Amino acid sequence: MNAAASLSERLVQGDRAALARLITWAENADPRFARELAALWPRIGRAWRIGITGPPGAGKSTLVNEAARLLRKDSKTVGIVAVDPSSPFTGGALLGDRIRMDERTLDPGVFIRSMASRGSHGGLSRASASACDVLDAFGFDRVLLETVGVGQAEYDVLDAADTVVVVLCPGAGDSIQAMKAGLLEVADVLVVNKADQPGADRLLNDLVEATHVRFTKRAWKVPVVAASAGTQFGVDAVLEAVEQHRAHLEASGLDAARRAKRLEQVRHAVSEALTEALWGPGGVRERVASELVAGASPHAIAAALLSELLACVRGPGAQATPSNASQNPRP
């Protein structure tokens, strides 16, 4: 392999070391990553990206492992990104994931990467989405992205997936919890894992009912699939449901659906960077503080600040009309 070649050039040649290195660059927010990703961009979009999310311990890694085995039997190559939650619930999941998925790692048709969250939500979302892009560009047929679905930050990660599989299991953290966390809203496929355990039937029925009640207007009817990844039961049906969702999206406009997700990615990235630039060092914090000292109202300060910002986007003279910044001005 040509040592002088760029990482993206080496990746295109099938160099797995380059693949691993590029994901590390994404993880470390290395400034060189953007250029490499831009070079790879024309190659991105061929893989089917499957996001697997759900509460801690629901069996996501076990399902991913079994899904990867079945996909390999079907001669599909598989790239896997597992986001380690570093959660207080499960601790040490990184090592656990590695061990459980280990039998896959000797197969050149599989690439597994664990990423640690280290508490940086937005950064991790972007890095794991970028890892999916890199695996896609490398040429994997399927990219599986495992994340723990517990909060808003994970939704960014889901913007990177074509099909979102939400894995639940009976017992603690079951359907009510899932509804609270908004997990049902993001699901394209719902899985009741640990179907071998008591309470699985009830959870399944609850979810079928919940999806009927909530999603009457949606074109895609979210299937609820029973599985027991631990005993290799039902994972074929999960993959079948994913394929049906894929067929549905392809028939109803995949490009538009993917563009909508990319738009959300841009929106999240810009919001985050803007918040940081405004309120971090060199931002407006001190100016706002001194205006408050001078007696200005928070509403007036916010309205003035927004007008200034929006003038850059819409041109001078644009009015700031946020719902709560310009209303009820106080003296």
CB 109 within 8 A of CB 44: no
Least distance between ligand GTP and beta carbon 12 (Å): 32
Q: What gap in Å lies between CA 266 and CA 305, rounded to an integer?
A: 23
Complex with ligand GTP: residue 151 or 253, whichever CB lies closer = 151
Among residues 168, 171, 149, 167, the alpha carbon closest in space to that of 158 is found at 149
Least distance between ligand GTP and beta carbon 47 (Å): 22
Which partner in Mg ion, ligand GTP, none is near 197 (CB below 5 to 8 A by kind)? ligand GTP
CB 138 within 8 A of CB 37: no
Q: Which residues of 130-166 are buried (b: 16+ CB within 10 A; e: fewer)?
A: bbbbbbbbbebbbbbbbbbbbeeebbbbbbbbbbbbb
Rounded to a whole number of angstroms, the distance between the first and last alpha carbons of the chain is: 70
Number of residue whose CB is nearest ligand GTP:
230
Which partner in Mg ion, ligand GTP, none is near 194 (CB below 5 to 8 A by kind)? ligand GTP
Which partner in Mg ion, ligand GTP, none is near 145 (CB below 5 to 8 A by kind)? none
Complex with ligand GTP: residue 231 or 321, whichever CB lies closer = 231
Least distance between ligand GTP and beta carbon 60 (Å): 3
CB 70 within 8 A of CB 235: yes
Which partner in Mg ion, ligand GTP, none is near 90 (CB below 5 to 8 A by kind)? ligand GTP
Q: What gap in Å lies between CA 190 and CA 177, rounded to an integer?
A: 14
Residues that bind ligand GTP (CB under 6 A): 56-62, 85, 90, 93, 96, 148, 193-194, 196-197, 228-231
Choices 41-49, 61-69, 168-176, 237-245 (CB under 5 A): range interacting with Mg ion: 61-69
Please, which residues have CB within 8 angstroms of residue 170's CB and are 6 or more apart in sequence?
A: 192, 194, 197, 198, 199, 200, 202, 203
Least distance between Mg ion and beta carbon 79 (Å): 16
- In the DSSP assignment, the letter for residue 75 is T
Residue type for position 129? A
Complex with Mg ion: residue 146 or 156, whichever CB lies closer = 146
Q: Which of 11, 26, 52, 61 binds Mg ion (CB under 5 A)?
A: 61
Q: What gap in Å lies between CA 225 and CA 188, rounded to an integer?
A: 11
Least distance between ligand GTP and beta carbon 53 (Å): 9
Which partner in ligand GTP, Mg ion, none is near 303 (CB below 5 to 8 A by kind)? none
> What residues line the site for Mg ion (CB under 5 A)?
60-61
